[in-house]
Amino acid sequence: MENVYAIGDSEQRAKYPHEVLVLFEPKKLPHHAMDTFDFISVPLGIGELSFREKQLQYFATEEDHAERFDVVLNTSVTWPVRSWPLENWQRLADTLRRLGMTVAVVGKDTYSKADEMLKRSPPLENCTSLVNQLSVDQTFFTIRKARLFVSCQNGLSVLAGATDTEIVVLDYSIEWSKHAIYRNEDPHYKVTYVKGECQVYCAVADRCPLPENQGVFKCIPGYQKVERVVLEKLGLGAG
């Protein structure tokens, strides 16, 4: 294809009735029938891919210079409803270190113009901080070498899905099937989604809108619930 035109440019489209590939044509996207949104089925207009076709792949271009850690954390801080409290991340890291695990924190502080906010990945005390130090490739290699990766439901959890590392995703109230990581045709293959107790998705609210919750986001998973899953995945049992 030598030229690309806007979808509304009917004059140009009319010149090539049998040769034009329309990208992202809404009428070809039965979103209600798609269990995940992907950018392969969109331009092809095929609607829904199989689990096998949705397997995540990442092709690094750099050489692997990453260190190996038992556990890699991504302490993502964005909206209150989508962020695990930093004191919980620190408590989890302290527990893992006490049990002999090496722990690193990855991520990048970046300002999002679209969201008009600074998205951060704060370092943790007594842990190796790789925040703002790694390229995407080296982040991928670091996660791939780890025994376990723990993150919020974000881009790094998707990147981790291209590895074979065990993953724990703090899933909150976003419908898991819309963001599931498919590997080996199975959305649960080495991925555990940990949710809180509320299923109402509050988007970017600063306080829970449900009066009975008194402004506290119950969709955020509690510390004990996350620790139990993490230790279980590491074969460590109760802390």
How distant is the alpha carbon of residue 79 from its chain centre? 15
Pairing between strand 71-74 and 117-119? unpaired
Query: Do both 102 and 31 map to the same domain?
Result: no
Within a domain: 1: no
23 plus 101 within the same structural domain: no
User: What's the rounded Cα separation, in Å, for the pair 99 and 97?
Assistant: 5
pTM, rounded to two decimals: 0.78
pLDDT at 181: 82
Taking the C-alpha atoms of residue 110 and residue 43, their distance in angstroms, rounded to an integer, is: 29
**pLDDT per 10-residue tile (average), the chain, 239 residues:** 65 71 52 45 50 74 96 94 94 97 96 88 97 96 98 90 94 73 82 88 80 88 96 83
pLDDT at 179: 72
Residue 217, pLDDT score? 87
Q: Do 33 and 127 belong to one domain?
A: no
Rounded to the nearest 10 degrees, the angle between the axes of helix 223-233 and helix 86-98 is: 40
Query: What residues contact residue 31 under an 8 Å CB cut-off, 6+ apart?
Result: 37
52 located within any domain: no
Give the residue numbers spanning the domain of 221: 71-233
Burial of residue 155 (CB within 10 Å: 0-12, 13-18, 19+) is middle
Total number of domains in the chain: 2
Same domain (yes/no): 37, 76: no
pLDDT of residue 194: 93
